[in-house]
């Protein structure tokens, strides 16, 4: 645990806890659609790439799974269920002794101040696994060496460990005064965000490479940008810009400090597929087994109204915004945000229909190292 990457501090911005009307649990249908869309990809990766003949698994046959950035549920439970069903299928085919069965332990990880109580209270009663909460940043080590057989992380790795320093430095060419996000329109800003993403991913891969057993699999699902499309031209980028304009409106009304708006930035970065692939190849500790770009089908009942879009954005960003601006004007901000979406007919605009942002499924395998070979 003495390695540099174990000491990285990541800022935490938990999703809205509980299971009330404003909670993440009730306002993360898009993330759930992503989880459902990747079910087959997970099954397929496990069927083809998980090999019990070479997997380092101890005699007690406990299969250890971690979901990193699990939030409060319920999406994480869907992911875990899919993984377990697929692993069981594969084990049935490959087990030597027809009477042997696997037991599962699942580690749910998120930041320390994630609402783990809601997660534990809503664990599926019929689950076939032992559940454990693991608090802490996934940019550091979270587990002992070679203890995990499968790692899953969905919609979490675009959260950087922090906003890059240059972004809030008024003397830097990367000072991002005019926006609350990495729009992709200012070269220096984009480079600073990309460098942070690169460092964070490197820390993530190094930590996971130590924790996964040889032959263990890791699935990463992350939002990406198609090549050549800046964030500002995606639906999400446009919504974030609209939220930024609502903060500027509050500053103009004298309700919040203008300088506070200038220094507020999302610690979010949406890479391209090529960027991620290059980082994984440079890291060299994992082989890329699957890589698939997809766009989840959002079922009819989830189609967005302005209110629904506000609820989803609020469930994710309320904590981050409150931390910077305080609680006083948060309701006002989101009321204005809904009004502005309606006034600008935002959700019907062509730009939004052609939403540009896509998602990426990656299945990686921990390369068997010489020392893991000896411990088999």
Q: Of the listed pieces 68-76, 183-191, 287-295, 324-332, which binds ligand SAH according to CB under 6 A?
A: 68-76
DSSP string, 209-231: HHHEEEEEEEEEEEEEB-TT--G
Name the closest residue to ligand SAH (Cβ).
69
Query: For residue 352, which of 222, 216, 233 has the smallest C-alpha distance?
Result: 233
- Among residues 36 and 62, whose Cβ is nearest to ligand SAH? 36
Q: Computed from CA positions of residues 17, 316, 242, 254, in that sequence, does the dihedral angle turn out positive or negative?
A: positive
No. of helices (H) and no. of strands (E), the chain: 12, 7
Under rule CB under 6 A, residue 31 binds ligand SAH: yes
Tell me how far apart the alpha carbons of residues 354 and 236 are, in angstroms, rounded to a whole number: 11
> How far, in whole angstroms, is CA 13 from its chain's centroid?
12
Q: How far is the CB of 349 from ligand SAH (least distance, A)?
A: 26
Under rule CB under 6 A, residue 312 binds ligand SAH: no
What does the chain come to in residues? 376
Instruction: Extract the runs of DSSP E, i.e. beta strands, from 111-201.
Output: 130-135, 148-154
- Among residues 75 and 309, whose Cβ is nearest to ligand SAH? 75
- Among residues 52 and 143, whose Cβ is nearest to ligand SAH? 143
- Among residues 108 and 346, whose Cβ is nearest to ligand SAH? 108
Instruction: Extract the runs of DSSP E, i.e. beta strands, from the chain.
Output: 62-68, 103-110, 130-135, 148-154, 212-224, 286-294, 358-366
Contact status, residue 218 vs residue 150, Cβ threshold 8 Å: yes
State the Cα angle at 21 between 18 and 22, rounded to 5°.
70
Contact status, residue 161 vs residue 23, Cβ threshold 8 Å: no
Under rule CB under 6 A, residue 15 binds ligand SAH: yes
Bridge partners for 294 per DSSP: 359
| Number of amino acids touching ligand SAH (CB under 6 A) | 23
Q: How far is the CB of 163 from ligand SAH (least distance, A)?
A: 13
Selected binder of ligand SAH within 10, 66, 80, 119 (CB under 6 A): 10
**Would you give the binding string for ligand SAH spanning residues 87-126, x where CB under 6 A is met?**
----------------------xxx--x------------
Q: How far is the CB of 31 from ligand SAH (least distance, A)?
A: 4
Under rule CB under 6 A, residue 27 binds ligand SAH: no
Under rule CB under 6 A, residue 75 binds ligand SAH: yes
Under rule CB under 6 A, residue 309 binds ligand SAH: no
Q: How far is the CB of 204 from ligand SAH (least distance, A)?
A: 8
**Would you give the binding string for ligand SAH spanning residues 132-171, x where CB under 6 A is met?**
-----xxx--------------xxx--x-x----------
Tell me how far apart the alpha carbons of residues 256 and 234 are, in angstroms, rounded to a whole number: 28
Under rule CB under 6 A, residue 317 binds ligand SAH: no
Under rule CB under 6 A, residue 17 binds ligand SAH: no
State the Cα angle at 268 between 34 and 211, rounded to 5°.
70
Q: Residue 174 corresponds to which tokens in the numbers above?
A: 């990367």
Residues in contact with ligand SAH by CB under 6 A are: 10, 14-15, 28, 31, 35, 69-71, 75-76, 109-111, 114, 137-139, 154-156, 159, 161
């Amino acid at each position: 645990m003495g390695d540099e990457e174990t000491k990285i501090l990541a800022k935490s911005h938990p999703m809205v806890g509980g299971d009330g009307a404003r909670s993440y649990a009730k306002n993360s249908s898009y993330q759930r659609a992503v989880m459902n869309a990747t079910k087959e990809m997970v099954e397929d990766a496990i069927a083809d790439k998980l090999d019990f003949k070479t997997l380092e698994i101890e005699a007690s046959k406990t299969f250890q799974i971690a979901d990193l950035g699990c939030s409060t549920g319920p999406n994480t439970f869907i992911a875990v269920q899919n993984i377990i069903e697929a692993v069981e299928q594969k084990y049935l085919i490959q087990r030597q002794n027809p009477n042997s069965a696997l037991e599962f332990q699942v580690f749910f990880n998120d930041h320390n101040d994630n609402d783990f109580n809601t997660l534990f209270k809503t664990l599926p009663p019929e689950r076939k696994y032992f559940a454990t909460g693991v608090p802490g940043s996934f940019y550091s080590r979270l587990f002992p060496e070679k203890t995990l057989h499968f790692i899953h992380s969905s919609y979490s790795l675009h959260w950087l460990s922090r906003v890059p320093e240059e972004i809030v430095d008024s003397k830097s060419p990367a000072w991002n005064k005019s926006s609350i996000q990495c729009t992709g329109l200012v070269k220096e800003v984009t480079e600073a965000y990309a460098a942070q993403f690169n460092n964070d991913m490197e820390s993530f891969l190094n930590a996971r490479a130590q924790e996964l057993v040889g032959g263990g699999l890791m699935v990463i699902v992350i939002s990406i940008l198609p090549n050549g499309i800046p964030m500002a031209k995606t639906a999400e980028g446009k919504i974030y810009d609209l939220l930024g304009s609502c903060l500027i409106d509050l500053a103009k009304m004298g309700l919040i400090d203008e300088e506070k708006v200038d220094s507020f930035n999302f610690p979010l970065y949406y890479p391209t597929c090529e960027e991620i692939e290059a980082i994984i190849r440079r890291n060299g500790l994992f082989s890329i087994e699957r890589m698939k770009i997809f766009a989840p089908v959002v079922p009819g009942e989830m189609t967005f109204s302005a209110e629904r879009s506000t609820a989803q954005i609020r469930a994710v960003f309320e904590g981050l915004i409150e931390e910077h601006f305080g609680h006083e004007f948060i309701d006002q901000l989101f009321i204005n945000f809904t009004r502005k979406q309606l006034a600008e007919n935002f959700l019907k605009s062509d730009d939004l229909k052609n939403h540009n942002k896509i998602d990426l499924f990656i299945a990686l395998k921990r390369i068997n190292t010489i020392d893991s070979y000896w411990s088999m």
